Amino acid sequence: MDMIEVNGVTKRYGKKSAVDNLTFNATKGEILGFLGPNGAGKTTTMRMITGFIPPTAGSIRVDGIDVVENPMAVSRKIGYLPEDAPLYPEMTVADFLDFMAEMKEIKGKGRRREIDRVVARLELGPVYRRLVGNCSLGYRHRIGLAQALLGDPEILILDEPTSGLDPRQRLEIRDLIRDLAGRRTVILSSHVLPEVQQTCERVVIINEGRLVAEDTPSGLAARLQGQSILRIQVRAPVEDTLRLLEDLPGIVAVKRDADGRNAGPPSFTVEMEPNRDLREDIFFRFAESNLPILEMTPVGFSLEDIFLQLITEDPERAQEDRREVIPS
* Least distance from other proteins to the Cβ atom of residue 107, Å: 9
* Least distance from other proteins to the Cβ atom of residue 185, Å: 16
Residue with Cβ nearer other proteins (78 or 188): 78
Alpha-carbon gap, residue 1 to 185, rounded angstroms: 11
* Least distance from other proteins to the Cβ atom of residue 150, Å: 10
Which of 22, 93, 100, 119 is close enough to bind other proteins by CB under 8 A? Answer: 100
- Under the binding rule (CB under 8 A), the answer on residue 48 touching other proteins is no
User: Nearest CA to 200 among 21, 147, 51, 214?
Assistant: 214
Interface segment toward other proteins; rule CB under 8 A; list 97-105, 116-124, 186-194, 284-292 = 97-105
208: phi then psi, degrees, rounded to nearest 5: 50, 40
- Under the binding rule (CB under 8 A), the answer on residue 99 touching other proteins is yes
- Under the binding rule (CB under 8 A), the answer on residue 34 touching other proteins is no
Residues 6+ apart with CB under 8 A from 161: 81, 141, 145, 173, 177, 188, 190
Interface segment toward other proteins; rule CB under 8 A; list 1-9, 52-60, 176-184, 312-320 = 52-60
* Least distance from other proteins to the Cβ atom of residue 159, Å: 9
* Least distance from other proteins to the Cβ atom of residue 267, Å: 49
Contact yes or no for 131/91 (Cβ under 8 A):
yes
- Under the binding rule (CB under 8 A), the answer on residue 130 touching other proteins is no
How many Cβ atoms are within 10 Å of 318's Cβ, its own excluded? Answer: 12
Contact yes or no for 8/23 (Cβ under 8 A):
yes
Alpha-carbon gap, residue 26 to 1, rounded angstroms: 9
* Least distance from other proteins to the Cβ atom of residue 42, Å: 14
C-alpha distances (whole Å) from 129 to each of 95, 148, 249 are: 9, 19, 70
Binding mask 56-95 for other proteins (x = CB under 8 A): ----------------x--xx-x-x-x-x-xxxxxx---x
Q: Which parts of 165-204 interact with other proteins (CB under 8 A)?
A: none
- Under the binding rule (CB under 8 A), the answer on residue 137 touching other proteins is no
* Least distance from other proteins to the Cβ atom of residue 81, Å: 8
DSSP of 286-320, one letter per residue? HHHTT--EEEEEE-PPPHHHHHHHHHT-SHHHHHH
How many Cβ atoms are within 10 Å of 49's Cβ, its own excluded? Answer: 24
Residues 6+ apart with CB under 8 A from 43: 82, 83, 159, 189
Contact yes or no for 155/6 (Cβ under 8 A):
no
Residue with Cβ nearer other proteins (75 or 190): 75
Q: How many chain residues touch other proteins (CB under 8 A)? A: 29
Residue with Cβ nearer other proteins (84 or 201): 84
Contact yes or no for 98/88 (Cβ under 8 A):
no
User: Nearest CA to 256 among 278, 234, 274?
Assistant: 234
Q: Which residues bind other proteins (CB under 8 A)?
A: 13, 47, 50-54, 72, 75-76, 78, 80, 82, 84, 86-91, 95, 99-100, 102-105, 144, 147
